[in-house]
Amino acid sequence: MKKLLLLTLVILAAWTAWKQVPRILERPPEHELVVENQSHEAIERLRIMVGSQTFVKELLGSGEDASFTVRVHRDQRFEMTWQWASSNVETVWQGGHITQGPIAQRHVLSVLEGGGVIHHVERRFLE
**Boundaries of every domain in the chain:** 28-123
Nearest to 46 by CA among 112, 100, 93, 7: 93
Average pLDDT of 107-118? 90
pLDDT of residue 19: 81
CATH number of 28-123: 2.60.40.2890
Please give the model's pTM, rounded to 2 decimal places: 0.73
Average pLDDT of 3-12? 88
Asked if pLDDT for residue 21 goes beyond 80, the answer is no
The helix, strand and coil proportions of the chain, stated in percent and rounded to the nearest 5, come to: 20, 50, 30
Asked if pLDDT for residue 126 goes beyond 70, the answer is no
Average pLDDT, the chain: 87
Q: Are 72 and 98 in contact (CB under 8 A)?
A: yes
Q: Are 42 and 56 in contact (CB under 8 A)?
A: no
Nearest to 40 by CA among 115, 111, 113, 118: 113
Q: Are 83 and 89 in contact (CB under 8 A)?
A: yes
Peptide bond into 29 cis (omega under 30): no
pLDDT of residue 89: 86
Average pLDDT of 24-34? 79
Tens digit of each residue's pLDDT (9 = 90 or more) over 39-63: 999 999 999 999 889 999 999 999 9
Q: Would you call 78 exposed, middle or buried from its count of C-beta atoms within 10 A (0-12, 13-18, 19+)?
A: buried
Q: Are 97 and 117 in contact (CB under 8 A)?
A: no
Asked if pLDDT for residue 127 goes beyond 60, the answer is no
pLDDT of residue 30: 86
